[in-house]
């Protein structure tokens, strides 16, 4: 039997961790649903508390198992690189890059001048790097787009700028007025059920119904973040189905990065999504966090009307690979 490559072994580590976290999250979601139908409130709270403790323990166990396997793999690779460098220094780079294969769902790299977060085919950069080396590395990782600050980071060589994304935000403590509603819009809003702590599974399914790999990765990441108080998600439901959602998916250092605002097509244009976004931003601001989010060019007018302030821009560059 052919031995697995380092990339395949690394992918297996991440996949095992993801599945374990997803299974733990499903158990917690099931417990939450059961507690909703338990008449004895004290019993429901006790069951939920026990389920949350078990969930946290399972997450920690999955992470520790993955960390141990990853450490072992890195040690093997380091030894292989050391031996190869003694024979042919040109073999070192491909051997090292082999550990950073394309099939990982999410990867984060940090160096002296650069931090790089890769999710799917898009990379997010902070800092700077050699443009030629950056292009080579991003292409190797399967990236087709990168978001960066042009003021501090030269773009990858050969990549083309496609647009600017506007950073919008709200100062901590500032409050925005809720969007005005017509009588019909108010009646629609009042008919929807606000859910402050929705189960992670339905949220992931709602956001990525046709992208199962992205859905599962998002589900696992969201469960992990929420268990550590690093993410906040709200939904609006109609007939038991999610029709609108918004979240803050990174709560850290006094900032709250909002993303994944989505409204069912039938309800768009009724000020449902905008109202929920403003309510979450106001709630975050009231507790001392600064809401921030990235906006594509076609949505700038929408968020400006809601009252958010433009704070800057980030550029999107795309790889020429795969283009005619």
Task: Tell me the per-residue pLDDT of 201-212, one tens digit each, with 9 for 90 and over.
Answer: 889 899 999 888
pLDDT higher than threshold 90 for residue 157: yes
Percent of the chain clearing pLDDT 70 (strictly above): 86
SS3 content of the chain, % helix, strand, coil (to 5): 50, 25, 25
Question: If DSSP codes are grouped into helix, strand and coil, which group holds residue 112?
Answer: coil
Last residue of a domain, one of 77, 97, 117: 97
**Backbone CA torsion sign across 133, 315, 265, 183:** positive
The neighbour count for residue 78, using CB atoms within 10 Å, is 13
The CATH number covering residue 250 comes to 3.40.630.30
Is 234 in contact with 247 (CB distance < 8 Å)?
Answer: yes
Q: How many domains does the chain have?
A: 3
40 in the same domain as 16: yes
134 in the same domain as 27: no
Question: If DSSP codes are grouped into helix, strand and coil, which group holds residue 234?
Answer: strand
Is 274 in contact with 261 (CB distance < 8 Å)?
Answer: no
Q: What is the per-residue pLDDT across 230-287, written as a single tens digit (0 to 9) for each?
A: 999 999 999 989 999 999 998 988 999 999 899 999 999 999 999 999 999 999 999 9
Please report which confidence band the pLDDT of residue 91 belongs to, taking 50, 70 and 90 as the band edges. very low
286 in the same domain as 177: yes
What does the chain come to in residues? 324
DSSP lists the bridge partners of residue 309 as 169
- Residue with token string 């302030």: 309
Tell me how far CA of residue 35 lies from CA of 24, 42, 153, 210, in angstroms. Answer: 17, 10, 50, 30
Is 105 in contact with 217 (CB distance < 8 Å)?
Answer: yes
158 in the same domain as 39: no
- What is the spatial distance between Cα 77 and Cα 244, in angstroms, rounded to a whole number? 46
Angle (deg, nearest 10), helices 6-36 and 41-87: 170
36 in the same domain as 13: yes
Last residue of a domain, one of 97, 126, 143: 97
93 in the same domain as 30: yes
CA 300 distance to own-chain centroid: 21
147 in the same domain as 190: no
298 in the same domain as 177: yes
Instruction: Provide the domain limits for residue 28.
Output: 1-97
236 in the same domain as 133: no
Quote the tokens at residue 76: 């093997």
Question: If DSSP codes are grouped into helix, strand and coil, which group holds residue 147?
Answer: strand
pLDDT higher than threshold 70 for residue 85: no
Last residue of a domain, one of 45, 69, 97: 97
The pLDDT assigned to 103 comes to 37
Answer with the residue of higher pLDDT: 287 or 57. Answer: 287
50 in the same domain as 154: no
Quote the tokens at residue 276: 């929920």
85 in the same domain as 125: no
pTM, entire model: 0.69
186 in the same domain as 301: yes
DSSP lists the bridge partners of residue 84 as none
- Strand ranges in 111-174 using DSSP code E only, listed in sequence order: 114-119, 122-127, 145-148, 160-169
The pLDDT assigned to 271 comes to 94
The neighbour count for residue 323, using CB atoms within 10 Å, is 8
Is 147 in contact with 314 (CB distance < 8 Å)?
Answer: yes
């Amino acid at each position: 039997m052919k031995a697995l490559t380092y990339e395949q072994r690394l992918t297996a580590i991440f996949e095992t961790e993801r599945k374990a976290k997803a299974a733990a999250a499903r158990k917690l979601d099931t417990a939450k649903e059961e507690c909703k139908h338990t008449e004895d409130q004290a019993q429901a709270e006790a069951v939920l508390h026990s389920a949350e403790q078990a969930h946290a323990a399972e997450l920690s166990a999955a992470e520790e198992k993955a960390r141990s396997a990853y450490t072992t793999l890195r040690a093997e690779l380091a030894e292989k690189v050391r031996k190869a460098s003694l024979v042919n220094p040109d073999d070192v780079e491909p051997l090292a890059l082999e550990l950073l294969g394309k099939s990982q769902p999410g990867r984060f790299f940090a160096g002296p001048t650069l931090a790089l977060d890769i999710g799917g085919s898009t990379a997010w950069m902070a800092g700077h790097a050699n443009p030629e080396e950056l292009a080579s590395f991003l292409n190797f990782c399967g990236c087709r787009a990168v978001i960066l600050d042009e003021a501090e980071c030269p773009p990858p060589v050969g990549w083309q700028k496609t647009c600017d994304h506007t950073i919008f935000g709200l100062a901590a403590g500032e409050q925005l007025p809720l969007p005005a509603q017509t009588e019909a819009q108010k009646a629609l809003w009042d008919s929807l059920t606000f859910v402050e702590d929705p189960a992670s599974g339905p949220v992931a399914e709602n956001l990525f119904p046709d992208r199962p790999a992205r859905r599962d990765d998002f589900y696992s990441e969201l469960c992990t973040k929420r268990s550590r108080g690093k993410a906040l998600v709200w939904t609006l439901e109609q007939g038991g189905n999610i029709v609108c959602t918004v979240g803050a998916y990174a709560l850290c250092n006094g900032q709250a990065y909002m993303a994944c605002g989505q409204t069912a097509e039938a309800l768009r244009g009724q000020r449902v999504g905008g109202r929920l976004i403003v309510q979450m931003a106001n709630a975050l601001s009231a507790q001392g966090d600064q809401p921030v989010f990235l906006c594509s060019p076609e949505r700038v007018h929408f968020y400006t009307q809601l009252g958010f302030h433009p704070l800057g821009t980030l550029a999107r560059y795309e790889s020429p690979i795969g283009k005619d």
